[in-house]
Amino acid sequence: MSRSSRSGLRRRGTESGAIEPRPVATNAMVLETGGGRYRVRFDEDPGAPQRPAEVEASLRGRLKQQARTGDRVVIGDRVRVERVPGDAEVAWAIEAVGPRTGEVVRRGTHQRRAKVMAANLDRMLVVVAAHEPEPRLGTVDRLLVIAESSGIEARVVVNKSDLEGPGEVVEQLTKIYPSLGYPTLLTSAETGEGLETLAEWLEGGISALIGPSGVGKSSLLNALEPSLELQTGALSRKLSRGRHTTVNARLIPLRGGWVADTPGFGDVGIWGIDPERLEDAFPEFIEPARSCRFRGCTHLHEPGCGVRAAVEAGEIPASRLASYEVLHAEAVEGTAPDWS
């Protein structure tokens, strides 16, 4: 399936919360953030054998000014880290942030400001459960749009394949998404089904598992790497939240790659997508949209719409057009439901 360029999908002038990136020579990647401290991992460098592999760093100068006004350095960021001169203790500071690709943005809770969750993601795995919670096609579409609008390769994971649900939606999931070009995998953290393929999907680069609470994202990672001991179960999460436990955003090493573990990464609203560019996040709309009678057809109500004709002809699943309509309205409003 041919994929269009996703650059320009974002509304121009939308504040992404990103620190102004500069083309700098970076030497490290941010692994963990929280409380104004940043754990970074240096790139391998034979010329710097005395340097530790990982250090905790603070932000320096201009970056700190920006950070105070809400901009942030996030996990996955490529950074330039240097020793702070004249410090008795060995101290390190982030001096600059490199340009980002694959930046994931969500709406901040109770605020109209975008929040960058992670930078430089190579792929997103949209995770739903076959049962408990019941899968919804609209949720998958929403999360795929977030991946597409960030220019990130996306795949679909249907976990809890061991549970007997109504089955009908699972059948739709495994039929619809592969036909749209999204590889789709059935997994079970309980029986181990699909885990070897999942491990292959996570190999190399930075991945993020996104999806509603309780679908088994943490369980899947634990099943692949038991030493992670990630907390699982909706109940325990609520308890920890009540105790004001700070959970940092971090990158977890897994099978030669990295997986983003970010609080609040599960339920995301779309942010800053230009309604006119939303169709670009629906790759199967591109071809039929060429035959829309009107230029700039929104595919909502115009006569002679090629996309709606393709839906009527059964070439595009009706659920995709329904999701497009919901997300288009949200993009126009510039808001998203608060899922927390």
SS3 per-residue string spanning 188-238: CCCCCCCHHHHHHHCCCCEEEEECCCCCCHHHHHHHHCHHHCCCCCHHHHH
Residue with smaller CB distance to Mg ion, 139 or 218: 218
Q: What is the DSSP letter of 187?
A: -
For 168, phi then psi, to 5°, come to -65, -45
Quote the least distance from Cβ 1 to Mg ion, whole Å.
31
For 201, phi then psi, to 5°, come to -65, -30
The verdict on 217 binding ligand GDP (CB under 6 A) reads: yes
Give the bridge partners for 33, in sequence order: 38, 249
The verdict on 214 binding ligand GDP (CB under 6 A) reads: yes
Interface with ligand GDP: number of residues (CB under 6 A): 16
CA dihedral over 232, 235, 237, 239, signed as positive or negative = negative
Residue with smaller CB distance to Mg ion, 100 or 217: 217
Quote the least distance from Cβ 232 to ligand GDP, whole Å.
3
From Mg ion, ligand GDP, Zn ion, none, which one binds at residue 74 (CB under 5 to 8 Å depending on kind)?
Answer: none
Cis before residue 133, ω within 30 degrees of 0?
yes
Quote the least distance from Cβ 218 to Mg ion, whole Å.
3
CA distance 7 to 29: 24
49's CB contacts (< 8 A; 6+ apart) are none
CA distance 238 to 297: 45
The verdict on 232 binding ligand GDP (CB under 6 A) reads: yes
Quote the least distance from Cβ 170 to ligand GDP, whole Å.
13
Tell me which of 162, 274, 276, 287 binds ligand GDP, using CB under 6 A.
Answer: 162
Tell me which of 307, 316, 331, 336 binds Zn ion, using CB under 5 A.
Answer: 307
The verdict on 160 binding ligand GDP (CB under 6 A) reads: yes
| Strand extents, DSSP E, the chain | 28-34, 37-42, 54-59, 78-83, 92-97, 104-107, 114-118, 123-129, 153-159, 184-186, 206-210, 249-254, 257-261
The verdict on 207 binding ligand GDP (CB under 6 A) reads: no
Residue with smaller CB distance to Zn ion, 237 or 299: 299
Tell me which of 58, 101, 172, 213 binds ligand GDP, using CB under 6 A.
Answer: 213
From ligand GDP, Mg ion, Zn ion, none, which one binds at residue 292 (CB under 5 to 8 Å depending on kind)?
Answer: Zn ion
Which of the residues 171 through 190 are near ligand GDP (CB under 6 A)?
188-190
The verdict on 310 binding Zn ion (CB under 5 A) reads: no
Cα 15 to Cα 3, 10, 18, distances in angstroms: 26, 10, 8
Binding site for Mg ion (CB under 5 A): 217-218
H helix intervals, 234-305: 234-242, 286-289
Cα 127 to Cα 76, 140, 263, 329, 340, distances in angstroms: 21, 8, 16, 24, 17
**Piece of 17-25, 81-89, 140-148, 216-224 that binds ligand GDP (CB under 6 A):** 216-224
Tell me which of 137, 156, 297, 331 binds Zn ion, using CB under 5 A.
Answer: 297
Residue nearest to ligand GDP (CB): 216
Quote the least distance from Cβ 306 to Zn ion, whole Å.
5
CA distance 308 to 316: 9
Contacting positions for ligand GDP (CB under 6 A): 159-160, 162-163, 188-190, 213-219, 232-233
Contacting positions for Zn ion (CB under 5 A): 292, 297, 299, 305, 307
